[in-house]
Structure 1
Amino acid sequence: MVNYMLMITAKLENLTDLQPQGGCDDPNLNYFFKLKCERCGEMTPKEACLNLNDMVFRGKGSTNLVKKCKFCLREGTVTMITGRGRPLTQIQSQFGHFTPLMVFDCKGFEPLDFSFSSDWEADSIEGTRFDGINLSRGEFVDYDEKGDCPVMISNLRAIFRVVK
């Protein structure tokens, strides 16, 4: 059992508090990433989709994903651990720091290549809320009419770090 923390960073222009819409622990949020089998090293050709609402009940507990490696047939699980995610602030962005989003308890698989999708939110430094931000193309550009300034999200990066 290894816990991997998904961490993100981005360049935020006139924005702060970038996070998935509804917060990091929103049960309707989908997390997309590839999985690498810890036994044979085979990577899934398609991204796995994890959601807090998707539960598989097994023996003594439950998990969010049960998957079998197509190459070696080893079964693995991924369970989401809530409560450790935070929004990316403008100050963190300026210094290139990463912020945690979600922790995944992985047995038999390692998460790789997180994909940013739609349904993100951020606040302009002037107080305007931007909802439904689509980051699947790697950037977001708009204009804050209330604050009379351009807003932008670029240079998106995500990593998985082993945590306890």
Structure 2
Amino acid sequence: MVNYLLMISADLENITNLQPQGGCDDPNFSYHFKLRCGNCGEVTSKETCVTLSETVPLTKSKGTTNLVQKCKFCGRDGTITMIPGRGSPLTLELSESGKFAPLMAFDCRGFEPMDFVFATGWRAESIEGTKFDEIDLSGDDFTEYDEKGECPVMISNFRATFEVSK
């Protein structure tokens, strides 16, 4: 069993607290990423979707997991179980210092997550306090204008990495 922590970063301009719409432990936020088989090294051709609110029973032991998937190349099963409570928003301070913010932890058995895909369902707020909901990060960048603060806001250069964690 290896735990991976999804770490995100982006260039933020006049905006802070980037996170999933319902917070870092949003049960309905979908995480999309590719998987590498721990047995044969094959990488999935399509992104896999994992959501905290969706669970499936484990077949060979007690309990549940968020994903059970079979490698299409070697046929081995692997599981991914999400571990909430480890995430925090990406702040303007972290962005300006080039640091990453932890978003979600994954207990991976038989698979290694890679290539996280930024999509829809994010929220953030301007440095003046204006809230921006349902942000779509599937494009190149997010740009808006904060009427209250009278300044442009922008999220660009999205980056993600998976770090091995305890």
The answer to whether TM tops 0.5 is: yes
Identity %: 65
Q: Which residue of 1 aligns with 2:145?
A: 143
Q: Which residue of 1 aligns with 2:21?
A: 21
Amino acid at match of 2:99: H
Cα deviation for residue 32 of structure 1 reads 0.3
RMSD: 0.6
1:88-133 per-residue CA deviation (whole Å, 9 max, x = no partner) reads 0100000010000000000000000000011101010011000011
Q: Retained in 2: the 8 A contact 1:116–1:138?
A: no
1:46-68 per-residue CA deviation (whole Å, 9 max, x = no partner) reads 11000011111123111000000
Q: Retained in 2: the 8 A contact 1:78–1:106?
A: yes
Q: Which residue of 2 aligns with 1:162?
A: 164
Structure 2 residues without counterparts, runs of 5 or longer: none
Show the 5 A alignment for 1:1-164: 1-58=1-58, 59-164=61-166
1:59-78 per-residue CA deviation (whole Å, 9 max, x = no partner) reads 31110000000000010000
Amino acid at match of 2:86: R
Question: Using the alignment, how far apart are the partners of 2:92 and 2:52 within structure 1?
Answer: 28
Q: Compute the TM-score of the two structures, normalised by the length of structure 2.
A: 0.97
Q: Compute the TM-score of the two structures, normalised by the length of structure 1.
A: 0.99
Runs of 4+ that moved beyond 2 A: none
Structure 1 residues without counterparts, runs of 5 or longer: none
